[in-house]
Chains A and B, each alone.
Chain A
């Protein structure tokens, strides 16, 4: 029986990771991406290799996922990661009151943390707010978004996956009984319409998931929730610096190359193709960022951008559980051949792919289990060295 052919729509983190996973499980994979690798939300992610600390108190399931995946990514793709750890720092009394439940939940989720005195913290990171009250070391890290995706995509390509970039899905092909068995795409570089058949179509378009499910007459419970990120032109810290409190706006500052990136905010948006930057949010980032690292005040912004989180389910803003959902539309709507994966975070791209691949393999009767946990990824440049 020839290899089953899977079409994955979207070459963001989930798309490329799923391609990598399915390629290792004997599938013939084609990834369709309307732009280039990672040009949607994934490219503009904050870049935090999440330790789960931010979610330990209110969303344990997410936190556990994060810490496990954090450790796995450090092992399988070190070439794109700044593994320098992170700090949760308390500036005001209200932050301190959050400390106790924070310590408890981190331990519960298996996130290794150590408390530091302000002097110890300042010795490690001289540029953080000098009048901090307390600090916790936590295994955060940062990564380069595009190269993380290219590492997965390159390895997938090495194992036989094909990537069709600048190719936009115009419609879903069905078998007459409403089951999806392919896609109609426009190759934008060549201005040519094509029809590609597949055993399963995986909709991994993140915040745009609704556009694809819309083509099958369904709506995807994804709530696009953009947030602002501001990159400043000096690397003032070596670690990720988080505000010790309930998740809020501008509560994380990351080092990346020779910059620090302050993020983020959270609001609802309909048209996800272009989210304009608003001045008040830029000011908010400067304010909140400089509460953590005062030195930001005498740096210059280098890049200001919006990234749209694909949050799962109804409800607005931050309250949605920060985990992910994989819908087999056969079970949810009786439409076979279409699987939607949305939600989740950058750090959990591998496990999202694993779950999606499990669903796809179950549909196709492939009983191979996931091996991506132990498979080191090739150099991210392999994506370019292997012809398409």
Chain B
């Protein structure tokens, strides 16, 4: 065994980015891919317009089955989370200072919450239109 190192490391690694953040990306990723395939097929093959897109009435009808808004909500939550955690990873690669990183993190969380909130609201509004 080499003698214990008696020195202070070049920079003690900044705690924060732990396995959980990475796991969030890694769990939402494949989930997103599955839902995405569904999303793609539905929007390009089931709609009544020539190119397969859905008209207003198609969308409202589609949202009547309560399962659909549920999936859409999971979808928007997962995709917003995945993309913003990823974006933070890109920002990390720009080696921001600790305060700058915290600011970016707060901003991303706020943006994410807003987008997810808005997504859920939108899904419920559309579903409600059909009642």
Answer yes or no: B3 CB below 8 A from chain A CBs: yes
**A386–B7 contact, CB under 8 A?**
yes
A386 to B10, CA, bound (A): 11
Answer yes or no: B65 CB below 8 A from chain A CBs: no
Interface range for A: under 10
**B5–A79 contact, CB under 8 A?**
no
Answer yes or no: A379 CB below 8 A from chain B CBs: yes
**B5–A376 contact, CB under 8 A?**
no
| B residues near A381, Cβ cutoff 8 Å | 2, 5
Answer yes or no: A120 CB below 8 A from chain B CBs: no
**B7–A385 contact, CB under 8 A?**
yes
Main SS of chain B's interface residues?
loop
| A residues near B3, Cβ cutoff 8 Å | 376, 378-379
Chain B nearest CB, measured from A386 CB (Å) = 7
| B residues near A79, Cβ cutoff 8 Å | 2
A79 to B7, CA, bound (A): 18
Chain A nearest CB, measured from B11 CB (Å) = 13
Answer yes or no: A382 CB below 8 A from chain B CBs: yes
A79 to B2, CA, bound (A): 6
Query: Using a CB-CB cutoff of 8 Å, which residues 295-352 of chain A contact chain B?
Result: none
Residue ID in chain B nearest A378 by CB atoms = B3
A158 to B7, CA, bound (A): 11
Chain A nearest CB, measured from B5 CB (Å) = 6
| B residues near A382, Cβ cutoff 8 Å | 5-7
| A residues near B2, Cβ cutoff 8 Å | 79, 378-379, 381
A286 to B87, CA, bound (A): 57
Query: Using a CB-CB cutoff of 8 Å, which residues 269-304 of chain A contact chain B?
Result: none
A381 to B9, CA, bound (A): 12
A381 to B4, CA, bound (A): 11
A326 to B122, CA, bound (A): 89
14 contacting pairs across A/B (C-beta < 8 A): A376-B3, A378-B2, A378-B3, A378-B6, A379-B2, A379-B3, A379-B5, A381-B5, A382-B5, A382-B6, A382-B7, A385-B5, A385-B7, A386-B7
**A interface vs B, CB < 8 Å?**
79, 158, 376, 378-379, 381-382, 385-386
**B interface vs A, CB < 8 Å?**
2-3, 5-7
